[in-house]
Chain A
Amino acid sequence: MKRYILTILIFLTTQLFSNDLLQEIDNAFFPVKEFEFQLELNETKNGKIGKPVVYRTYSYPPDKCILIAKKPAIMAGNSTLRINDTIFVYTKKIDKMSQYSAKVAFNGSLFTQEDILNSMFSHFYSVESSEEVEYHGRDALKVTLVGKNRKVAYKTLIFYVDPQTLIPIAREYFSYSGKLIKRITIDEVTYKDGLLTYLKLTMHDLIRTNITNTAEFTNIQYKSVPKKYFTKNYMKVLAR
């Protein structure tokens, strides 16, 4: 009996510390307070770069985020809102509000809705294991995450983070069938006074290897964002 209790206690303690680690990784990488930024998505296919899609984005960590498309003009006003596990998409031209799964591709890109709308992994995933490894010739901490429920986009994620700063180097994404399908590499990241000021990352499709998508976070402003922005009703006001 004592052995079982001890095992459970060790398991719970490990979980607690592991999830503290994930929270530290989240906090080191993305701001924990609300902020506003511009997101630009680009697709490169067979070496040719497509037209960028630009969004004005408001984030209210840990679980709220809204994107309003600004460019191209044909998409202007279309908005996507995440409130915890629920994702709403508003199409301005036909006044249509729909619910989406976190697993669905974001506007046909390699990114899923979750990749774009989630900045706090500790809210949706828990740590399964962590170990120090060598990743592309440099020391890295390999952290394996599993979804807290089946609503998340991936069954398993592997983070490679810098052991000192905990800033991600790369992430690997596994489907529910257990197959490695995508990889994100952090191309450029800058901080000022401990706060993120610029980020560029690339999503590689490991099945269709001729396609990559980049996401660029610019014009990051740390300021108070009204909580009502993150409601389904207010989406129509912001959708301009």
Chain B
Amino acid sequence: MKVSILFIYLIMISSMIISQEFSISGDVESNFFYIEGLEDDCITGLTGSVFFNYYTIDNFSIVADLESEGSLSSDSSTDIMNIVVKQLYMNFFIEDFICYIGKKSKRIGSAEWFNISNRITPTFLDQGSRNNSSIGMVDIEYMFTNHINIDLITYFPDTKINIASSVTMSFLYLDLDLNYYFEEMENHYTAINLSSQLDRFNIYCEGSINEDYDIKLSLGTTYGGDTINITTEVLYGEENYYGGFSFTKSNLFIDNLTFNFSTLHSISDNTEEFWDLYSVDGAVSISYMYKDLLFTGYFNRSFGGDESEYILQNEVDFTLGLITSIYF
């Protein structure tokens, strides 16, 4: 009898064999900031990030994207390392449905800076380079056909409930997204994205309109060469016009040396709106890769309102990686 039970138990266990994999990657950076105008104008910091990805071969995965930051100064009051959860979500697939639950970045549209069609987690500038915000959401994607995707997202900024839906279409060289946002269950926004690849140029357009017929439009193009990347983008709003330009050259004079310059300018006088997102007006960075080490030097000039600040930053990154498969 005991042998039979054990046998049945073993069969049950063996029928639940699931192959699984982990991947962990991360980096550690030491930073030195010089910010003009501060009483203690030199700040040293240490930041690190870990991207953890667990998945079963079949249909389930968990992603955790964590970041920590702190000061290295001995007399600093902020020398305790803070851990920030940038993303933490699980996703699973059933037939033609993909479901994401948790805090994550949702990428909508192609714009580098003026990501106006994305009302959920728009991209923003962080010391000259683009970054993504994240938010708690339940996102269900349905693959309607090979070319059409339907997306329903419920997201929760400041404990309020927002709902968004989008239809993504892809035909030959043209990608088209139609997005509708119902924010705090009362405000409506409609947004559209169009993008197309023409040879080495990616041309894109984002537009949004709210219930007061406030129209915003951003237009951009990216040129992708073997060692050169150039992006230009403009934002047109009712009262403000912005222009952005970015130039990146890798293998500058020698292999592994990369130069980046990006700038954003307000073309109109009104600089109040969008300032939190588009505050850097000039950033230069040079990075050099040696084996697994990436040395980067930044110089940023940014200003918000009447203030302006210069940031000089050095950074040394190294990455770590691990992939492990386990079988139950």
Bound-complex Cα distance A93 to B25 (A): 11
Q: Which of A31-39, A99-107, A188-196 contacts B (4 or more CB under 8 A)?
A: A99-107
List B17-38 residues whose CB lies under 8 Å from chain A: 21, 23-25
Choose one: A74, A87, A237; the contact of B98 (CB below 8 Å). Answer: A237
List B241-279 residues whose CB lies under 8 Å from chain A: 250, 255
Check B93 against A45 for contact (C-beta < 8 Å): no
Check A104 against B61 for contact (C-beta < 8 Å): no
Check B226 against A94 for contact (C-beta < 8 Å): no
Bound-complex Cα distance A158 to B246 (A): 37
Choose one: B61, B104, B322; the contact of A73 (CB below 8 Å). Answer: B322
Residues of B contacting A228 with CB < 8 Å?
Answer: 143, 146
The answer to whether B68 has its CB under 8 Å from any CB of chain A is no
Q: Which of B71-79, B196-204, B209-217, B305-313 contacts A (4 or more CB under 8 A)?
A: B196-204
Q: How far, in Å, is A101 (CB) from chain B's closest CB?
A: 5
Check B321 against A99 for contact (C-beta < 8 Å): no
Residues of A contacting B168 with CB < 8 Å?
Answer: 233
The answer to whether A97 has its CB under 8 Å from any CB of chain B is yes
Q: How many A-B residue pairs have CB under 8 A?
A: 97
The answer to whether B319 has its CB under 8 Å from any CB of chain A is yes
Q: Contacts A73-B25, A240-B55 given: A100-B146 contact, CB under 8 Å?
A: no
Q: Contacts A105-B226, A108-B250 given: A99-B175 contact, CB under 8 Å?
A: yes
Check B197 against A101 for contact (C-beta < 8 Å): yes
Q: Contacts A74-B25, A99-B195, A104-B226 given: A93-B65 contact, CB under 8 Å?
A: yes
Mask of B121-138 contacts with A, CB within 8 angstroms, 1/0: 000000000001000000
The answer to whether B173 has its CB under 8 Å from any CB of chain A is yes
Choose one: A76, A94, A227; the contact of B132 (CB below 8 Å). Answer: A94
Choose one: A45, A211, A231, A237; the contact of B146 (CB below 8 Å). Answer: A231
Q: How far, in Å, is B114 (CB) from chain A's closest CB?
A: 16
Choose one: B93, B146, B173; the contact of A86 (CB below 8 Å). Answer: B173
Choose one: B25, B65, B105, B173; the contact of A85 (CB below 8 Å). Answer: B173
Choose one: A77, A99, A227, A233; the contact of B149 (CB below 8 Å). Answer: A233
Check A99 against B146 for contact (C-beta < 8 Å): no
Check B197 against A93 for contact (C-beta < 8 Å): no
List B73-116 residues whose CB lies under 8 Å from chain A: 93, 98, 104-107, 110
The answer to whether A131 has its CB under 8 Å from any CB of chain B is no
Q: Contacts A73-B323, A95-B107 given: A101-B200 contact, CB under 8 Å?
A: yes
Bound-complex Cα distance A136 to B303 (A): 63
Q: How far, in Å, is B292 (CB) from chain A's closest CB?
A: 8
The answer to whether A234 has its CB under 8 Å from any CB of chain B is yes
Chain A interface residue count, Cβ-Cβ cutoff 8 angstroms: 39
The answer to whether A163 has its CB under 8 Å from any CB of chain B is no
Check B202 against A98 for contact (C-beta < 8 Å): yes
The answer to whether A70 has its CB under 8 Å from any CB of chain B is yes
Check B106 against A73 for contact (C-beta < 8 Å): no
Q: Contacts A99-B175, A231-B143 given: A93-B200 contact, CB under 8 Å?
A: no
Bound-complex Cα distance A104 to B224 (A): 7
Bound-complex Cα distance A14 to B35 (A): 70
The answer to whether B47 has its CB under 8 Å from any CB of chain A is no
Residues of A contacting B224 with CB < 8 Å?
Answer: 100-101, 104
The answer to whether A236 has its CB under 8 Å from any CB of chain B is yes
Check B197 against A86 for contact (C-beta < 8 Å): yes
Check B25 against A233 for contact (C-beta < 8 Å): no
Q: Which residues of A contact B (CB under 8 A)?
A: 45, 70-74, 76-77, 84-87, 92-101, 103-105, 108, 150-151, 208, 211, 227-228, 231-234, 236-237, 240
24 of the cross-chain contacts (CB-CB < 8 Å) are A45-B255, A72-B25, A73-B321, A86-B172, A93-B65, A94-B105, A94-B107, A95-B104, A95-B105, A96-B107, A97-B107, A98-B202, A99-B197, A101-B199, A101-B200, A104-B200, A108-B250, A233-B141, A233-B143, A233-B146, A233-B149, A234-B143, A237-B93, A240-B55
Additional pairs, 17, CB under 8 Å, beyond known A99-B175, A99-B202, A150-B199: A73-B25, A73-B320, A73-B323, A74-B25, A74-B321, A98-B202, A100-B197, A101-B199, A101-B224, A103-B200, A108-B250, A151-B199, A232-B147, A233-B149, A237-B98, A240-B55, A240-B61
